[in-house]
Amino acid sequence: MLKRFMIGCLAYAVSLPLCAQQFNELVFITESDASLNYIQQGRLQGPAVELLLSASERLGSPVLRKDIRVQPWARGFRRALAGPNAVLFSTIRTPEREAKFQWVGPIASEHDVLIGPKDRAFSLSHVDQLRDLKIGAVKDDVGHEILLELGLDPENIVVAHQVESLSKMLLAGRIDTWVFGEQGWHRGLIASGIDPDSLEVIYRFPARQYYFAFSLDVPPTLVNEFQGALNRLLNEKSAQLDIVK
């Protein structure tokens, strides 16, 4: 009888997962983009960072600021896309990206814009006017996707991995304009030691929403639990982080 009982217990134990995955065991990846998540005075901060820290604490599995990886966007995007167990933020949700991730949010919305030199006195009112311009974009950023969706000549799209590289190209006249988030470009230039006063917004694309993007292998239960914690947190704050001006 005892032997039969022990065998039954062993079979039950084997049927259980050896160790349920904790939320803070995931790999959290972001970039320093000067709007929702950025490094200032050597410290990672921003509204999206604080939301992640607060919501994870409510789950009883707190993420530590020091454990969030800050990487160039293209590298972080590839890592999250490939998995395993990755979370990329803040990520704009687009039709092209829809099936590639599990999404939690939205947490904010923002316009992507074109930035150009003030002394060029651009007057743009329609996307067709962009076809003759040489435009810079961060690789795999939503701005890059926007340019491709518009069907612009790839020869006229100049891709770089860093905001600083694009801004220097723009100031040197190697590109005509540069696409980036409306609230991030100005602060991003200052963080790179570049004076933004000679530049201005010359065209504004429709606003899109930011999310946390989970790799497809992350257990849906973890994704759903985080969405619930985030919803409660945002409800207490009355609204999502609206950075659209």
Q: What is the pLDDT of residues 35-79, one digit of tens each?
A: 799 888 899 999 999 999 999 999 999 999 999 999 999 899 999
- Residues 129 and 89 reside in one and the same domain: no
Q: Which pTM does this prediction carry?
A: 0.76
Residue 19 has pLDDT above 60, yes or no: no
Residue positions counted in the chain: 245
Q: Does a structural domain hold residue 172?
A: yes
The whole-chain average pLDDT of the chain stands at 86
Strands 177-181 and 208-214: unpaired
Q: Does a structural domain hold residue 215?
A: yes
Q: Does a structural domain hold residue 16?
A: no
**Quick count: other Cβ atoms within 10 Å of Cβ 200?**
17
Q: Does a structural domain hold residue 189?
A: yes
Range of the domain at 155: 112-204
Residue 31 has pLDDT above 50, yes or no: yes
Residue 13 has pLDDT above 50, yes or no: no
Residue 206 has pLDDT above 50, yes or no: yes
Beta partners for residue 102, in sequence order: 214
- How many domains, the chain? 2
State mean pLDDT over 161-188: 87
Q: What is the pLDDT of residue 20?
A: 59
Residue 92 has pLDDT above 80, yes or no: yes
Q: Does a structural domain hold residue 17?
A: no
State mean pLDDT over 182-210: 85
- 192 Cβ contact partners less than 8 Å away, ≥ 6 residues apart: 163, 164, 167
What does the radius of gyration of the chain's CA atoms come to, in whole angstroms?
22
pLDDT in tens, 222-237: 999 999 999 999 988 6
210 phi and psi angles, rounded to 5 deg: -95, 145
d(CA 103, CA 99): 10
- Residues 179 and 132 reside in one and the same domain: yes
> CATH number, domain at 152?
3.40.190.10
Q: What is the pLDDT of residue 34?
A: 64
**Quick count: other Cβ atoms within 10 Å of Cβ 235?**
10
175 phi and psi angles, rounded to 5 deg: -130, 160
- 118 Cβ contact partners less than 8 Å away, ≥ 6 residues apart: 198, 199, 200
